[in-house]
């Protein structure tokens, strides 16, 4: 069952990621990225990370992608401009990228097959590893400083976004 | 029946590679940003896989911080895109090759 669910949502992930590359329109790329993020949330649940799965849906698929789609619609970003590429670069795109992918994966696969750590995650469905309460406890004890610094980062990001996106009057 | 951790790592590597490829072959600046998000997601998956394998919760915290940084980056980056679009009227990165107007 675990294997079946992994293969199903892994296939969704792979399909979404490839679709992001293939699509010409920006909005279609954004929608396939949402598919990738949603199926990644399911994979996190399979790995027993409930907190991260929920946060993935709320922050990534919810907040960040809504921001992207909002900007795409605001700027009316339709068809991607295609410029005439050189013949060599087209050949590199068609043969080089899949070749690199295949070579890399064969390498990783061989490397991992012979590693002693590859014995399965050992977790079954419904068995939650890393409940939200434990993650919260760790966040507010061991990683408290990083958490507080993060709040400053988010504050600066808010101010930066407001300043940058504002129509400047005195310029 | 459990899934070997190498499957998760392969999927994570695939997502990262797709992000890199998109970053290299795409010309629309918003699509470039989405490719970066794809790379971050791939890295997050390997963090979670290793956290589960090693029985340590630290990986979950790292993923949480990566998400916060990604949100901040998306907010500031998209604001920059809007402000560039106002002055240049284009989203093609090849046309945005000078910092000055």
pTM recorded for the entire structure: 0.85
Q: Break chain B into its structural domains and give their ranges.
A: 5-95
pLDDT at residue B43 in the model: 94
Query: Which residues sit opposite B28 in a β-bridge?
Result: B92
Tell how far CA B35 is from the center of its chain. 6
Interatomic CA distance for residues A85 and A103, integer angstroms:
25
pLDDT at residue A154 in the model: 93
Q: How many CB pairs under 8 A join A and B?
A: 225
Q: Between B14, B80, B81, which is nearest A14 by CB?
A: B14
Residue A48 neighbours by CB under 8 Å, 6+ apart = A123, A127, A128, A129, A130, B52
Closest to B18 measured CA to CA, from B41, B2, B46: B41
Structure confidence at residue A145 as a pLDDT band (50, 70, 90): very high
* Contact by Cβ (8 Å): A39, A16: yes
pLDDT at B45 over 80: yes
| Residue count of chain A | 171
* A79: helix, strand or coil: strand
pLDDT at A170 over 90: no
If one compares B64 and A99, the residue with the highest pLDDT of the two is B64
- As a CATH number, domain B5-95 is 1.10.287.3510
Disruptive mutation site among B79, B85, B86, B100 for chain A (greatest number of A CBs within 10 Å): B79
Mean pLDDT of chain A: 82
Q: What is the pLDDT of residues A21-67, one digit of tens each?
A: 888 888 999 999 999 999 999 999 888 888 899 999 999 888 999 99
* Contact by Cβ (8 Å): B30, B39: no
Q: Report yes or no for ipTM above 0.85.
A: yes
* A35: helix, strand or coil: helix
Quick check: A56 contacting B, CB < 8 Å? yes
Q: What is the pLDDT of residues A63-117, one digit of tens each?
A: 999 999 999 988 876 665 556 566 667 777 777 777 877 888 787 777 777 766 5
Q: Between A105, A122, A146, which is nearest B2 by CB?
A: A122
Pick from A17-26, A123-132, A148-157, B32-41: least confident: A123-132
Q: What is the pLDDT of residues B71-86, one digit of tens each?
A: 999 999 999 888 888 8
């Amino acid at each position: 069952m675990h294997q079946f669910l992994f293969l199903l949502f892994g296939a969704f992930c792979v399909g979404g990621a490839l679709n992001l590359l293939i699509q010409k329109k920006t909005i279609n790329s954004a929608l396939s990225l949402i598919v990738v993020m949603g199926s990644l949330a399911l994979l996190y649940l399979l790995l027993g990370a409930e907190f991260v799965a929920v946060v993935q849906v709320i922050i990534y698929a919810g907040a960040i992608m809504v921001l992207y789609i909002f900007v795409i619609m605001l700027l009316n970003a339709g068809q991607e401009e295609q410029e005439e590429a050189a013949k060599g670069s087209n050949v590199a795109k068609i043969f080089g990228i899949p070749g690199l992918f295949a070579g890399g994966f064969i390498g990783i696969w061989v490397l991992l097959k012979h590693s002693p750590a590859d014995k399965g995650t050992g977790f079954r469905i419904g068995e939650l590893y890393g409940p939200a309460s434990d993650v919260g406890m760790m966040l507010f004890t061991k990683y408290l400083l990083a958490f507080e610094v993060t709040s400053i980062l988010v504050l600066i990001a808010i101010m930066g976004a407001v300043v940058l996106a504002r129509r400047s009057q005195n310029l | 029946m459990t899934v070997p951790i190498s499957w998760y790592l392969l999927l994570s590597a695939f997502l990262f590679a797709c992000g890199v490829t998109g970053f290299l072959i795409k010309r629309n600046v918003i699509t470039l940003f989405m490719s970066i998000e794809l790379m971050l997601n791939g890295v997050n998956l390997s963090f979670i896989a290793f956290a589960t394998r090693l029985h340590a919760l630290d990986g979950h915290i790292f993923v949480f911080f990566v998400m916060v940084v990604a949100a901040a980056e998306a907010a500031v980056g998209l604001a920059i895109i809007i402000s560039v679009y106002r002055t240049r009227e284009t989203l093609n990165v090849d046309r945005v090759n000078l910092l000055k107007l």
